[in-house]
Amino acid sequence: MFKQLLLIFLGGGLGSVLRYLISKSLNSETFFLPYGTFTVNILGSLLLGLILGLAARHEFFSSNLVLFLAVGFCGGFTTFSSFALENQALLRSGDYLNFFFYAFGSIILGILAVFLGLFLSKLT
């Protein structure tokens, strides 16, 4: 059990650092939407679909590797709390159009990205 927790911890740390770097480089006061959070959430959804699809088809994906990548890395890389905070800020400022595109675009594209990842994993 300790080994699995350590793998999740390490994967989550790596994912969080990468999320921070991407968000810092893409989020800006000059943009209306938080593109960094949007990017990491969609990429993380795609990656999660790929990982789970490949794990279902290939034996080299051990349960520990799935924990490290899917639960740890993807869990640390994507962020629902930032997504919720940014949507709240858009609503508070009265920017309903960007709220609509960001909130619903993130949800729909995130789900589609998981499906795409699962589909792409079948091509290997």
- The reply, when asked if residue 15 is annotated as ligand binding, is no
Q: What is the pLDDT of residue 44?
A: 95
Q: How does pLDDT run across 49-84, given as a tens digit for each residue? A: 999 999 999 888 899 999 999 999 999 999 898 899
Pick out the chain residues at pLDDT < 70.
Answer: 29-31
Whether residue 12 contacts residue 75, with contact meaning beta carbons closer than 8 Å, is answered with: yes
- The reply, when asked if residue 37 is annotated as ligand binding, is no
Q: What is the pLDDT of residue 45?
A: 96
How far apart CA 1 and CA 64 sit, in angstroms, is: 10
- Buried b / exposed e over 43-61, threshold 16 CB at 10 Å, is bbbbbbbbbbbbbeeeeeb
SS3 content of the chain, % helix, strand, coil (to 5): 80, 0, 20
Quote the tokens at residue 10: 């390490």
Q: What is the pLDDT of residue 27?
A: 83
Q: What is the pLDDT of residue 30?
A: 64
Four-residue CA torsion sign, 65, 66, 72, 77? positive
Four-residue CA torsion sign, 58, 61, 67, 71? negative
Whether residue 44 contacts residue 74, with contact meaning beta carbons closer than 8 Å, is answered with: yes
